[in-house]
Structure 1
Amino acid sequence: MAIGTRRLGDLTVSAQGLGCMGMSQAYGDTSDRTESIATIHRALDLGVTLLDTANVYGDGANEELVGAAIADRRDRVVLATKFGIVRDADGNQGAQGDPAYVRTCVEASLRRLGVDHIDLYYQHRVDPDTPIEETVGALAGLVEEGKIRHYGLSECGADTVRRAHAVHPPAAVQSEWSLWTRGIEESVAPTCAELGIGVVPFSPLGRGFLTGAITSTGQFPEGDMRRGLPRFSDDNLAANLAIVDALKVIAERRGVTAGQLALAWVQSRGEHVVPIPGTKRRTYLEQNVEAVALELSADELAEIEAAAPSSAVAGERYPAHLQRNVGR
């Protein structure tokens, strides 16, 4: 199927991308490298061009995996990776964005990916100790040198977007956006629309929850990050399952899955919006790509939002120590 293209600023990408993080960390077993690479190859065959990774995913292993997968098909890929999340010896997460660090990171990512340039290079989290103007200045320098084609920001605030844009316009802002994570709609998404910046929603399926496949925290193996996220706790699970049950009713009427319905809702947010659902299996990839063709009427959109109002979602996105790095 032809999935079409959308624009992230001046960058043309497929209407849906592929998030590769789960192939190396966060959601259980990551040992099947063969299937992960096959999933990336299948995505390219289906017309998905935007592949998303980061230097911290698997401590660099995910960039190496993606690099291996695209080694003989680089010209078919819009390659996105990130820098800026740092962890101390105790595993506490922070952010860094000084120019020297930016340059060190891009060189390391280029080596792991096995490429001579990165198409879209995001600051993963905003460094509170480095003015965004300094970070963007360094990124603009990398654009001039040809090491990156475009840059983006991730999980930032609207004021940061404006300040960055004044130095050098970003192609995209990546943030979590789904039917149960809608904080971006208050100011960040409108700012991006105003300035002509693309929006790349990660976890558009609510980290798998909106597919309806998750019914108990007992399904998560040891090491699965969802064990530590408030929305998946036993205290909040029942309320959130009610949202998915309501979505299933609408999805069944359309002859699609709840996950496909949730993806179509994200895609309906605008022509500058390109979700990157993540998966490490071809079966789920194919289901996700099918959602690109799903058109929702105004009445259906209203019904979906009534079934999944943000006020009904129980629990925060992240525990406090991670939430403090968001929205800067």
Structure 2
Amino acid sequence: MTQNTTIEQVELGKGGPLVGIQGLGCMGMSEFYGETDEAAARATLEAALAAGVTLIDTADAYGRGRNEEFLAPFVAAHREEITLATKFGLVRSDDPRHRGIRNDRAYIRQAVEDSLRRLGTDVIDLYYMHRYDPAVPFAESVGEMAQLVQEGKVRHLGLSEVTGAELREAYAVHPIAAVQSEWSLFSRDVERSAVPAAAELGVAFVPYSPLGRGFLTGTFASAEELSEGDFRAQQPRFTGDNAKANRALLEPVREIAKAHGATPAQIALAWAQQRAQVHGLPVVPIPGTRKPERLAENTAATRITLAEQELAALEPLAAGVAGDRYPNMAFTSAAREA
């Protein structure tokens, strides 16, 4: 009998679109993780769709628009088969280290028009506020996003890296379909308030970097192994003594993987998928990859169920992680958590 390799589907939030229970993060197809291979990336997109991965995630900041442009031919060929997500609000400049945030009405209006043009579509299925600027009230920013829904430019709204209190405040302005934040075996700060608030409101959670930016897979052990231009070389968790300490935490992941005849990456993804049952909300991780074989490995994780004792063995990992997930945590919800 031929095994069914198509993943299951789930509703992305209350009244949201039906998507595969695993999505695809496209950031690395344009920059950040060293040299890119467009042919392999395009093959990965096609393999994703064939596997039932329908949530395709990008942002205007990825490659400063190049990632959206790269996706445009795929979007044109498969527009009715995919749920297209992009983001606004993270502002970049010619200085690769610069990051700013804009959530004002005028910027949102310009950003959505630019994204629609680059993606070659007349509507965005899920439009995220990439980062939140506390200086701009949600009544203004989410109010403008809601206007985009009324105009038919956007179908559903999302937020990224917000606290539970911020999610509730935004939801009072307009329903939010999904919250996207880093959530993995190594990063669990969202469980303090954002996840409970999302469960209460019927909002889906979309974990980015569910593989700890590749560290949980064991494919690299420290920043020294990364290629030139790989932004992970600046992440505190992957440098010096932090990297050494964090490598030691991976032993339970490897042991559980061996017991399942799986890879450490698959165990990390299976853990993320099972957060849905643990917390009572839809969870759609978006691991990023540029290789069809990794895509197949990732989607196979949706068919792994971890036993209670295995989950218990993985439970302490996050508390033992050395180093922050960004050099500057001011751009994350963790910095605003009570």
TM-score, normalised by the number of residues in structure 2: 0.93
Residues 262-310 of structure 1: CA deviation (Å, up to 9, x unaligned): 100000011511000000111111100000111122222112224x2x2
What are the residue-to-residue correspondences of 1:184-263 with 2, within 5 Å?
A: 184-263=190-269
Residue 313 of structure 1 corresponds to 321
Cα distance in 1 for partners of 2:28, 2:93 equals: 22
Residue 304 of structure 2 corresponds to 294
> How much has 1:88 moved relative to structure 2?
4.9
Residues 55-75 of structure 1: CA deviation (Å, up to 9, x unaligned): 010111100111122221111
Residue of 11, 19, 22 corresponding to 1:7? 11
Residues 172-230 of structure 1: CA deviation (Å, up to 9, x unaligned): 00000000000000111001001110100000000000011112322211110111000
Is the aligned partner of 1:97 residue 2:103?
yes
Q: Letter of the aligned partner of 1:217 in structure 2?
A: A
Sequence identity (%): 51
> How much has 1:261 moved relative to structure 2?
0.4
The answer as to whether partners of 2:25 and 2:208 remain within 8 angstroms in 1 is yes
Cα distance in 2 for partners of 1:247, 1:296 equals: 11
Residue 293 of structure 2 corresponds to 283
Residue 51 of structure 1 corresponds to 56
The answer as to whether partners of 2:222 and 2:244 remain within 8 angstroms in 1 is no
TM-score, normalised by the number of residues in structure 1: 0.96
Q: Letter of the aligned partner of 2:56 in structure 1?
A: L
Q: Letter of the aligned partner of 2:10 in structure 1?
A: R
Q: Secondary structure of the equivalent of 2:68?
A: helix
Cα distance in 2 for partners of 1:85, 1:234 equals: 29
Q: How many correspondences in the alignment?
A: 323
Indicate the larger mover: 188-197 or 127-136.
Answer: 127-136
RMSD of equivalent CA atoms: 1.2
> How much has 1:54 moved relative to structure 2?
0.2
Q: Secondary structure of the equivalent of 2:77?
A: coil
What are the residue-to-residue correspondences of 1:156-175 with 2, within 5 Å?
A: 156-175=162-181
Q: Secondary structure of the equivalent of 1:207?
A: helix
> How much has 1:89 moved relative to structure 2?
5.6
Residue 145 of structure 1 corresponds to 151
Q: Letter of the aligned partner of 1:110 in structure 2?
A: L
Alignment gaps of 5+ in structure 2: none
Indicate the larger mover: 67-76 or 178-187.
Answer: 67-76
Cα distance in 2 for partners of 1:313, 1:102 equals: 36
Alignment gaps of 5+ in structure 1: none
Q: Secondary structure of the equivalent of 2:206?
A: strand
The answer as to whether partners of 1:49 and 1:77 remain within 8 angstroms in 2 is yes
> How much has 1:111 moved relative to structure 2?
0.5
> How much has 1:97 moved relative to structure 2?
0.7
Q: Letter of the aligned partner of 2:173 in structure 1?
A: V
Residues 226-275 of structure 1: CA deviation (Å, up to 9, x unaligned): 11000000121111111122210111011111110010000001151100
Q: Secondary structure of the equivalent of 1:246?
A: helix
Distance 1:240 1:273, change over 3 A: same
